[in-house]
Chain A
Amino acid sequence: MRRPLGSKTLREILLPLGRMLVFVVGAGAVFSCLMLALALLCRGSGVDKLLISTQGIDILSYTLVNLPQVLIDGVTLGFVYAAIALGYTMVYGVLEFINFAHSEIFAIGAFAGVEFLIAMDKLGALAAAGPLGSYLYLTLALVVSMGAAGGMAMLVERVAYRPLREAPKLVPLISAIGVSFALQDIIRLTESLTTGQFYRVMPTFGEFDKRLPLFTIPRGADSSLVDIQVKSIVVIGAAVLMLVALNYIVNATKIGKAIRSVAQDRNTAALMGIGVNAIISFTFLIGGALGGAAGLLYALKFTRIDPFVGFMPGIKAFTAAVLGGIGNLTGALLGGIVLGMLESFAGAYLGTFTMGAFGSEYKDIIAFLVLIIFIIFRPSGLLGEQVSQKA
C-alpha cells in the first residue's frame, strides 16, 4: 500500500497555504488596481490640485506612496478578522445558528492572555527574557488565551445552547445575544473586583514594537520609508499557522471527519456511532480557541483592551464570514482578508479622495455598504454557503 496519509497530510497543509497566498495577492492586486484607476480618473480634478497645493504631490504618486503601508495594514487586520470569522462559520456549519457570543469569547481570550503577560511582567520574567524568551512567553500567553476562550466557548454551548438545540432557530440566537451581554459584564465585574481596572494594557516586551525597514519611496524632495512592525509579522505568522492547523484538523483527521458528518446530518451521524454532543463541544472548543488567540493577537497589535473590545471586531468578523459564504471555512478566510483590505483602503484614502468631506471615520460605512451591495447580487457569499447538503 502507498502512504495515502503522508501525501494527504502534505496536501492539507500546502493547499490552504496556497489559497491564503492567492487570496492575499489577489485581493491586494484587485484593490490596488481599483485604487490606481480611481487616482488616474481623478487626475487634474480638485482633489489633485488640493494635494499639490498642500503637500506638493499629485494624486497618482500620493496613492502609490501610501499603497504599500495600506496593503500591509490591510493584510494584518484581515488575518485577525479571518481567525475570528472561522469561529462564527464553524458553529454555523455545525448548528446553523450565529453564535453572537463569539465576540466576547474573543475578548475573554484577549483578557486571559494579557493578564497572564501582566503577571509575568510583574514577576520580572518578561524583562529578563531574551529575544527567544519573549517569543516563548508570547506562545505561552497564546496557549492561555486559547485555553480560556476555548473552555468558555464550551461552557457557553453546554449552558446556553445545548438545552435549546431542538427549539426554533431564533431561540438560541436570542440566547446568544444574552450570553454576549452577560459575558461583557462578567469580564467587567471580574476586572473591577480583582484589579480595579477598566483598561488593560499589553506590556511592552521583546522586540515586537521594532520596525523592519523594507524600502524607501522617493517622494518629491524627501522620501517615505515603508516598514513593517515585528508584531504585524507575528500576527500574520501566528494566524497563518492556526488556520493551517485548523484546516488540517477539519479535513484530514478522524475527528474532523466527525465534525463534517455532524454538519452534514446530525441524526445520521449519531446513527453511525458519532457522539454528536462531544463533537459539537469540540467544535466550540476549537472555534473558541481560535477566537481567543485572535484576541491576544489583536491586543498585541493594538495594545489596549477593555471589556467591550470584542464588539466591533466581532461584528466585522461575522460580516467577513457572511461575505465569504457562511459555513465555508475557506470563505471565512477570504472574507476576512477582503474586509481587512477594504477597511484599510477606505480608511487611508477616503478622506483625501473626498477632499475631507468624508473622513476615515466613514471607513466602516464603506465596508458595510460594499457588503450590502455585494450580498444583494450574491446572497450566498463569495464562495457560497455550505449548508445545502443539510436539507
Chain B
Amino acid sequence: MPESESHKEEAKMRKRILVALCALAVVSLLFVGCGGTQAKVIKIATQSPLSGGMSAVGTDIKNGAQLAIEQLSGPLVKLGYTVQLAPFDDQGNPDTGVANAKNIVADPAILAVVGHYNSGVQIPSSEEYHSANLVNISPANTNPKVTDRGYAEINRICGRDDVQGAVGAQYAASKGIKSAYVLHDKTAYGQGIAEYFQRQATALGIKVLGFEGTEEKANFDSILTPILASKPQAIYLGGMFDQWAVLIKAARQKSFKGLFLSDDGFDSSDAAKIGGDALLQGAGTYYSTVSGPASVYPGTAKFITDFKAKFGSEPQPFAAQAYDCAAIALAAIQNALAASKGKLPARADVAAAVRALKDFQGITGTINFNAKGDLTKAKYFIIQVTSSDPSKWSANKIDQTLDIEPPQ
C-alpha cells in the first residue's frame, strides 16, 4: 500500500474510534441519569468469596442475606423504599475486600454490610466501614480483633476464636489427648485460633510438640515427615478446609492413626469432597465451630425449606447467620427511619440502631450485642465428621454444645 493511502486509512480509523468513544460516553451518561431519578433505594451489601476455593460457603452467605431481604423488607417497601442486595465478591483476599469496601462506602444507598467469611479480609475492610460510619454485621468472623478494636459500627453474631481455640483444647483434653502438634495457615484467623488452642492446651497439660504455619496446598510430604516422626496423638489444624482436607488425606496415607481437630474454617461440605474417607479413618476428624448446622437452631426449619426451594441445595454453614445479619440490618434501618421520620437515615444512626436492638429474635437465637459488638452469649459446638458424603455434611454429629460469654 502506498504511504499516503495508508495515512488516509489510518485517519479514517481514528475517526471511527473517536465516534465509537463518543457514542459510548453518551450511552453511559444516559445510564447515570437513570440512576439519579430513582431516589428511594436502600441497599444492603454483602461481601464474601463468591469465586474461588471458598465460594461454596461464600455464595451461601450471599444467598442467606438475599433470602432475608426478599422475605423481610416488607415494612420498608410500605414506606416507599426499594430494598436491594448489592453482592460483592471479596475472593477471600484482603486486597479485593478493601477495594470492594471503598466502592461500598462510595455508594450512598448502601446502609449496611453483611459479611466477610475470612477474618483476615474483614479486619482491613472494616477500617473503611469504620471511617464512613457504615454498619457491618458479620456472620462468620471469629478473630478477636474484629470487635476488640471497639468500633461502634462493627458487630458479629458468632463466637470468638480466643474462646473457640480454648474450647477445642478442652475437648482434646477431655478425649484423653496428651500430645498434639499444631499447624496453622498463617492467616489472621488460622494463626490466631491456633495460638489460643496452644495456650489452653499447654495450660491443660497437653504437650505441644510443635507449632508451625504453612501456605502449602498440595504437597504436604515434607511437612508431615517431622510431624509424624514426633508421633502426636492429635494434630490441631487452624485454618481452612481446602488446605487441611488435603493434609488429612496425605497423613492418613502415611498411616497416621491419631485424631484431627480443626476449627470453623473446616466447616464446609467441600471438606468431605476433598478428604473423603480419610476424614473417618484413625481416631477421626473433629472441628469446633461457632455456627452449628442450620438444623440445630430452633427457628431455622422454615429457613431451610425456603432456602432449598430457592437455591436447590442444603444451606452451607453461616447461611442462616447471614440471614440473621441481613434481618438485623433491616430491623435497624426501620428503627432509624422511624426516628428520622421517614427521611433516609444517616449511616451513623443505622449503626447506633443495630447496637440498640434488644432481644432481637433471629432464626439462630435471641440476639443482644454488648458494648464491643460481640453477642452477650455465643454458642460453640464440637462436631465430628461422620460421613464422607458431601451432601450429608450438615448431618455431622454434634458432640458438644456450649454457651459462653465473651471475655471483656
Inter-subunit contact B210/A199 (CB<8 Å): no
Of A298, A304, A348, most B-chain CB atoms within 10 Å: A304
Q: What residues of B have a CB within 8 angstroms of the CB of A298 in the complex?
A: 218
Instruction: Output the least CB separation between A226 and chain B (Å).
Output: 11
> Chain B contacts of A345 at CB under 8 A?
222
**Interchain CB contact under 8 A, B214 and A306:** no
Encode A194-216 as 1/0 by CB contact (under 8 A) with B: 00001101001000010100000
Whether B255 contacts A344 by the Cβ 8 Å rule is no
Q: How many A-B residue pairs have CB under 8 A?
A: 96
Which residue on B lies nearest to A349, using beta carbons?
B226
A351 to B223, CA, bound (A): 9
Asked whether A302 is an interface residue with its Cβ less than 8 Å from the other chain, the reply is yes
- Cβ distance A104 to chain B, nearest Cβ, rounded Å: 16
Given A224-B229, A229-B253: A360 in contact with B222 (beta carbons within 8 A)? yes
Contact of A77 among B214, B221, B249 (CB under 8 A): B221
- B274, CB-defined interface residue at 8 Å: yes
Is A343 part of the binding interface, using a Cβ–Cβ cutoff of 8 Å? yes
Return the chain B residue nearest A70 by Cβ: B225
Residues of A within 8 A of B216 (CB): 361
Using a CB-CB cutoff of 8 Å, which residues 137-196 of chain A contact chain B? 188, 192
In the bound complex, how far is the Cα of B303 from the Cα of A314, in angstroms?
A: 45
- Knowing A66-B229, A199-B53, A356-B211 are in contact, say whether A211-B222 is a contact too (CB < 8 A): no
Cα distance, A65 to B229, chains bound together (Å): 9
Q: Report how far A146 CA is from B249 CA in the complex, Å.
A: 27
A259 at the interface (CB under 8 A from B): no
Complex CA distance for A62 and B274, rounded to whole angstroms: 33
Q: In this assembly, does A352 line the interface, its C-beta being within 8 Å of a C-beta of chain B?
A: yes
| Residues in chain B near residue A69, CB distance under 8 A | 225
Which one of A76, A303, A312, A351 lies within 8 Å of B226 (CB-CB)?
A351
Considering only residues 332-375 of chain A, those with a C-beta below 8 Å from chain B are: 343-349, 351-352, 356, 359-361, 363
- The yes or no answer to B131 lying at the interface (CB within 8 A) is no
Task: Say whether B226 contacts A348, CB under 8 Å.
Answer: yes
Most buried by B among A77, A312, A348: A348
Residues of B within 8 A of A66 (CB): 225-226, 229
Q: Give the distance to chain A from B282, nearest Cβ to Cβ, in Å.
A: 15
B214 near A360 (CB under 8 angstroms)?
Answer: yes
**B273: which A residues are within 8 A, CB to CB?**
199, 201
Residues of A contacting B229 in the complex (Cβ-Cβ under 8 angstroms): 55, 62, 65-66, 224
A54-B209 in contact (CB<8A): yes
Indicate whether B399 reaches chain A with its CB closer than 8 angstroms. no
A85 contacts B by Cβ under 8 Å: no
Which residues of A lie under 8 Å from residue B374 when comparing CB positions? none
Q: Determine whether the beta carbon of A73 is less than 8 Å from that of B274.
A: no
| B226→A352 contact, CB < 8 A | yes
C-alpha spacing A366/B237, complex, angstroms? 24
**A204–B276 CB distance below 8 A:** yes
A303 and B225 contacting across the interface, CB-CB below 8 Å: no
Taking the closest CB of chain B, its distance from the CB of A168, in whole angstroms, is 23
Interface size on A, residues (CB 8 A): 43
B215 at the interface (CB under 8 A from A): yes
Alpha-carbon distance A363/B223, docked complex (angstroms):
9
Q: Which of A77, A302, A356 contacts B210 (CB 8 A)?
A: A356
Please indicate the chain B residues that have their CB under 8 angstroms from the CB of A211 in the complex. Answer: 253-255
Does A114 lie at the interface of the complex (its beta carbon under 8 Å from any beta carbon of B)?
no
Is the beta-carbon distance between A343 and B230 smaller than 8 angstroms? no
Name the residue on B nearest A309 (C-beta): B218
Dominant secondary structure of chain B at its interface with chain A: mixed
Q: Does B186 contact A (CB under 8 A)?
A: yes
Of residues A225, A301, A309, A361, which shows the largest number of chain B Cβ atoms within 10 Å of its Cβ? A361
* Docked pose: A298 CA to B217 CA in angstroms: 13
Q: Measured between alpha carbons, how far is A211 from B255 in the docked complex, in Å? A: 9
- Residues of the B chain whose Cβ atoms lie less than 8 Å from the Cβ of A343: 222
Find out whether the CB atom of A199 lies under 8 angstroms from the CB atom of B242.
yes
User: In this complex, what residue of B is CB-closest to A203?
Assistant: B276
B55, B210, B213, B229 interface centre (most CB from chain A within 10 Å): B229
Asked whether B274 lies within 8 Å of A199 as measured between CB atoms, the reply is yes
Q: How far is the CA of A361 from the CA of B223 in the complex (A)?
A: 8
Query: Which one of A192, A345, A359 has the highest number of Cβ atoms from chain B below 10 Å of its Cβ?
Result: A359
Q: Evaluate contact between A344 and B211: CB separation under 8 angstroms.
A: no
Q: Are A348 and B225 closer than 8 Å at their CB atoms?
A: yes
How far, in angstroms, from A229 to B52 measured CA to CA in the complex? 31
- Once A229-B253, A347-B222, A347-B223 are accepted as A-B contacts, the answer to whether A360 and B212 lie under 8 Å apart by CB is yes
The answer to whether B222 and A344 touch across the interface, beta carbons within 8 angstroms, is yes
Bound complex: CA A58 to CA B245 (Å): 33
Q: When chains A and B are docked, how far (Å) is the Cα of A136 from the Cα of B253?
A: 23
**Cβ-closest chain B residue relative to A211:** B255
Indicate if the CB atoms of A201 and B222 lie closer than 8 Å. no
Whether B60 sits at the interface, judged by CB under 8 Å, is no
Instruction: Name the CB-closest residue of B to A307.
Output: B52
Give A69 to B209 CA distance when docked, in angstroms: 20
Question: For A303, what are the chain B residues with a Cβ–Cβ distance below 8 Å?
Answer: 246, 249-250, 274
B89 contacts the other chain (Cβ, under 8 Å)?
A: no
List residues of B (232-282) whose CB comes within 8 Å of A's CBs.
242, 245-246, 249-250, 253-255, 270, 273-274, 276
Nearest residue, chain B, Cβ from A73 = B221
CA distance A387 to B230 in the complex (A): 49
In the assembly, what is the distance between CA of A335 and CA of B209, in Å?
Answer: 35
B6 in contact (CB, < 8 A)? no
Contact with A along B44-81 (1 / 0, CB 8 A): 00000001110100000000000000000000000000
Known: A66-B226, A204-B276, A360-B226. A344 touches B221 (CB 8 A): yes
Give the docked Cα–Cα distance between A276 and B250 (Å).
46
Chain A residue contacts of B231, Cβ below 8 A: 55
- C-alpha spacing A343/B223, complex, angstroms: 10
Cβ contact within 8 Å between A361 and B186: yes
Task: Give B268-307 as 1s and 0s: 1 = Cβ < 8 Å from A's Cβ atoms.
Answer: 0010011010000000000000000000000000000000
Return 14 A-B CB contacts under 8 Å, by A number: A55-B209, A55-B229, A199-B242, A199-B274, A201-B274, A211-B253, A211-B255, A224-B229, A303-B250, A304-B246, A306-B53, A348-B226, A361-B215, A363-B222
Which 4 residue pairs of A and B lie closest in terms of their CB atoms, listed nearest first?
Answer: A347-B222, A359-B212, A302-B218, A73-B221
Q: 6 additional contacts, CB 8 Å, given A304-B218, A347-B222, A361-B216?
A: A70-B225, A302-B250, A304-B274, A347-B225, A348-B222, A349-B226
